[in-house]
Amino acid sequence: MTQERSAPEAVKKESKIEVIKRNSRHLRGTLEEALQDGRPLFDEDNVQVLKFHGVYQQDDRDLRQKLKKEGKEKHYMMMVRARIPGGVLTPEQYLAFDELADRYSEYGSLRITTRQTFQLHGILKGDLKATIRAINEALLTTLGGCGDQVRNTITCAAPGHEAYHAEIREDLLAIVDCASAKTHGYHEIWLDGEKLPLGAEAGEEPLYGDIYLPRKFKIAIAIEGDNCLDVYANDLGIVAHVDGEHVTGYTLLVGGGMGRTASVKDTYPRLATPVAYVERHELLEAVVAVITVQRDYGNRADRRYARFKYTLDERGIDWFRAELAARLGRPLAEPRPLHWQRAHDHLGWHVQRPGYGYLGVYVPNGRLRDTETARYKSALREIVAEFRPSVRLTTQQNIILADLPEAARPLVEQKLKAAGIPLVDELSALRQSAMACVALPTCGLATAESERALPGLLPQFEQLFADYGLADERISIRMTGCPNGCARPYIGDIAFVGRSLGKYDIFLGGDFYGTRLNQLYKELVPIDQLVAEIRPLVAAYAAERQPGEGFGDYCHRVGLERFRTAAAGELR
């Protein structure tokens, strides 16, 4: 395995965060002391170290102004992100999270993320240790939820009885095991683990070394034909080729990423590029080699350019292929051609194996809570407690209840209906594929609403498409509260990217299969004009589309310029 460091380029000047990482003694920082200091917040160095432990320091942004006026400090609270490889949970683990949300989250909710894990928002500093301990007692961790390391590794959440499902799971867990931080500091801080003797930390991180990766690193394993998880948005995308029963090998794609900064013009989203094919037994070695290339060559001076995509674009894909081949000690095989037949989430009832099925349940923006109209949290708790399904969180923020006996299906569906939770046939195609990131009030980077805004927009868009006889069209709408792209907006048919409170940039022309970046259509559009801005394009699409052509494909084919330059109202 290629874990030794090959000579890195001379690093010009390390960014502040690199220094914090280096001084943290493998992520210990002064967290233990800080947890005892009675203050509601952590200092800046510990805030950075905490991310590696799966914790973000936030404040309730709804309260900011009021507290400021009253001369009080912000209402600090933590977001805790678990690491749940492939989104798979036992019923006991699901119930443990459900209870943690009741006990410690100020919002009383659980949030399924676009990388198929759970986030708990609104955890006060004084409850942090108990929360993290409880997650570990449920045999899960938060280490690797965030920070400059390999993040939650994702895969298609749909279960199946064919051997390749188990093989992919095995390969995913091997990657997770190998790419997880090994620091003992996590156990020392949160689980009262015995402390290592001074200096013994030196060899703790064979893969990451003292300063971990230059930036976050995301890995996804898709199954050939099904891009439900947006494989092209990952630093390392892995596509499993199957012969119907077994995995025959994997195609590797590198350099995907969504993040951009609106004011920094040379930051951009990028689709991962296919670079090589590996046999199944070669996968782990290849994954480690790819990670080490980024570890050794990624930009450690300026975090804005530290993602793998910039390393690759700066040096070129040919350079990368040569570097990877050198690290593996053999020439690379060409990537296999990739074809996608589906990309929607696995909602509704599906046969899993004889006598058993799984039910994909739509969760609006991944937020599990009880409201006046839908009791997501309590209904799912009751169902999981009674029927003991295995639970799978999807990368489109939904939930799959797996291993359900067929006889349980009507009972489960009845419970969902009674709780006001729609089944898949009650949902428009548009709603099934819509996603919004968290944004306000917890995200410190949000410049606009997203999770709280999309539910108000969806009925208007449903009406718009219905007006043109397109109610059943599969169209992906994605919304984010800033350009960072947490709901992967730049590969949706339609995206609204928050720029300032109430104003969004509109992006159009991606495709439903997530294989093409969309284009900026209009900037800073007020939220109440989003539907009107899209209407002329929907009208033209309805009139001019080719058979089977998706909305994004149509926009891409005819070009946005025609609509951009049309006088307002002319095409409505």
Name the residues annotated as catalytic: 81, 151, 216, 218, 437, 443, 482, 486
- What are the φ and ψ backbone dihedral angles of 528, each rounded to 5 degrees? -80, 0
Residues 45-64 that bind ligand SF4 (CB under 6 A): none
Residue 233's binding partner out of ligand SF4, ligand SRM, none, with CB under 5 to 8 Å set by partner kind:
ligand SRM
Task: Give the type of residue at 304.
Answer: R
Rounded CA-CA distance 235/257 in Å is 6
Q: Are 109 and 367 in contact (CB under 8 A)?
A: yes
Among 421, 439, 477, 517, binds ligand SF4 (CB under 6 A): 439
3-class secondary-structure state, position 304 = helix
Pairing of strands 519-526, 55-59: unpaired
Both tokens of residue 12?
């010009």
CB of 117 or CB of 433, closer to ligand SRM: 117
Residue 157's binding partner out of ligand SF4, ligand SRM, none, with CB under 5 to 8 Å set by partner kind:
none
Choose the stretch contacting ligand SF4; rule: CB under 6 A; options: 39-47, 58-66, 151-159, 442-450: 442-450
Tell me the DSSP string of 58-105. Answer: EE-TTTHHHHHHTTPPP-EEEEEE-B-GGGEE-HHHHHHHHHHHHHHB
CB of 223 or CB of 435, closer to ligand SF4: 435
Give me the residues that bind ligand SRM (CB under 6 A), please: 56, 58, 79, 81, 113-115, 117, 119, 151-152, 218, 233, 257-259, 307, 366, 397, 437-438, 442-445, 484-488
Rounded CA-CA distance 144/50 in Å is 10
Q: Are 458 and 434 in contact (CB under 8 A)?
A: yes
CB of 233 or CB of 525, closer to ligand SRM: 233
User: Shortest gap between Cβ of 437 and ligand SRM (angstroms)?
Assistant: 4
Choose the stretch contacting ligand SF4; rule: CB under 6 A; options: 34-42, 332-340, 445-453, 455-463: 445-453
CB of 218 or CB of 392, closer to ligand SRM: 218
User: Shortest gap between Cβ of 397 and ligand SF4 (angstroms)?
Assistant: 12
User: Shortest gap between Cβ of 290 and ligand SF4 (angstroms)?
Assistant: 25
Q: What is the DSSP letter of 141?
A: B
Among 433, 484, 508, 514, binds ligand SF4 (CB under 6 A): 484
Distance between start and end Cα atoms, the chain: 60
Q: Does residue 486 touch ligand SF4 according to CB under 6 A?
A: yes
Nearest Cα to Cα of residue 151 among 232, 80, 251, 84: 84
Bridge partners for 79 per DSSP? 56
CB of 254 or CB of 404, closer to ligand SRM: 254
Q: Does residue 366 touch ligand SF4 according to CB under 6 A?
A: no
Rounded CA-CA distance 29/493 in Å is 43
Rounded CA-CA distance 222/514 in Å is 12
Residues 438, 157, 96, 98: is their CA dihedral positive or negative? positive
Rounded CA-CA distance 293/386 in Å is 48
CB of 111 or CB of 280, closer to ligand SRM: 111
Choose the stretch contacting ligand SF4; rule: CB under 6 A; options: 171-179, 235-243, 399-407, 474-482: 474-482
User: Shortest gap between Cβ of 450 and ligand SF4 (angstroms)?
Assistant: 5
Q: Does residue 480 touch ligand SF4 according to CB under 6 A?
A: yes
Q: Does residue 418 touch ligand SF4 according to CB under 6 A?
A: no
Helix axes 283-297, 308-315, angle to 10 degrees: 80
The residues of the shown chain that bind ligand SF4, judged by CB under 6 A, are 437-439, 443, 445-446, 450, 480-482, 484-486
